Amino acid sequence: MFYEPDKKNHGLAHTPYKSCIVPRPIGWISTISKNGKINLAPYSQFNNLGFEPGYLCFSGGRQSPDSHIKDSVINAEETGGFVYNMATYELREKVNLSAQITDSDIDEMRALGLTPGNSRLVKAPFVVESPINIECVYYTTLTLPGNDFKTNHDVVIGRVVGVHIKDEYIDSDGKIDILKIRPLARLGYEDYTSVESLFSMKLNGPSSDFLSYGLHGG
Ligand SMILES: Cc1cc2nc3c(=O)[nH]c(=O)nc-3n(C[C@H](O)[C@H](O)[C@H](O)COP(=O)(O)O)c2cc1C
């Protein structure tokens, strides 16, 4: 099949697009407002950009009817940073619930029974219960046009300045034990997955620029 998203002519009972780019890692983003309120929300429009230095981005879709900008976006801009907390299978219910609290006066971590940890390099606290937390200093916001201005996407980019990894998730080879963590990812519709298997591949034979990017670029 072929369809053009602008024409919505897929003919299916459910829009397939969100299931075409999967699995999407979930950035569980913690921020703090200029009034000191802690905010926590999941973002699957989220990823890493580059490694030296690393940048993380998440995209907040403005919401109709008033084109409300997501609190995570406003807080990252106003207080200069955010923290990525890894969403896991064990934390899945709290991840989901954290999307439903929209009152910016509520301290979302405490409301969900989560513990705020003091970040070292940014004001936003991290989620202690999450196995990996990455502190990011706000870099910029890229606003992508939506179909109308009310649905613009605000892509927040932060520079990675600090990485916390719980020691219990580092294995005897010095690698992060992904299968023990079971990171959560989104599949479109109301579907999710978590990492329950992995395989490795080595690059063999003569290297080319392309291959060596694969080897070193990750
Ligand atoms: C798993 C999951 C992923 C989500 N991803 C996004 C996303 O990438 N962008 C977005 O704007 N909203 C996303 N949402 C919805 C937001 O989490 C929700 O609007 C939340 O209330 C925003 O909170 P904030 O205004 O405190 O930042 C997602 C929800 C769930 C459950």
Q: What is the pLDDT of residue 105?
A: 82
* CA of residue 28 to ligand 1 center, whole Å: 9
Cα-flanking dihedrals φ and ψ of residue 135, to 5°? -85, 130
In a domain, 161, yes or no: yes
In a domain, 6, yes or no: no
Nearest CA to ligand 1 atom 15: 99
Asked whether residue 217 carries a pLDDT value surpassing 70, the answer given is no
Closest residue by Cα to residue 156 from 31, 72, 44, 84: 72
Q: What is the pLDDT of residue 206?
A: 60
Spatial distance between the Cα atoms of 70 and 56, rounded to a whole number of angstroms: 17
Q: What is the pLDDT of residue 159?
A: 98
* CA of residue 94 to ligand 1 center, whole Å: 13
Nearest CA to ligand 1 atom 17: 99
In a domain, 3, yes or no: no
* CA of residue 191 to ligand 1 center, whole Å: 15
Total structural domains in the chain?
A: 1
Query: Which atom belonging to ligand 1 lies closest to the Cα atom of 96?
Result: 31
CATH number reported for the structural domain that contains residue 47 in this entry: 2.30.110.10
pTM of the predicted structure, to 2 decimals: 0.93
Pocket of ligand 1 (CB under 6 A): 26, 39, 41-45, 59-61, 70-72, 96, 99, 102, 186
105 compared with 111, residue with greater pLDDT: 111
Q: What is the pLDDT of residue 149?
A: 72
Spatial distance between the Cα atoms of 122 and 152, rounded to a whole number of angstroms: 27
The domain in which residue 188 lies consists of 25-217
Asked whether residue 216 carries a pLDDT value surpassing 90, the answer given is no
In a domain, 13, yes or no: no
Instruction: Band the pLDDT of 172: cuts 50, 70, 90.
Output: very high
Tell me the pLDDT of the chain averaged across its residues. 93
Give mean pLDDT, residues 90-117. Answer: 92
Asked whether residue 57 carries a pLDDT value surpassing 80, the answer given is yes
Give mean pLDDT, residues 117-145. Answer: 98
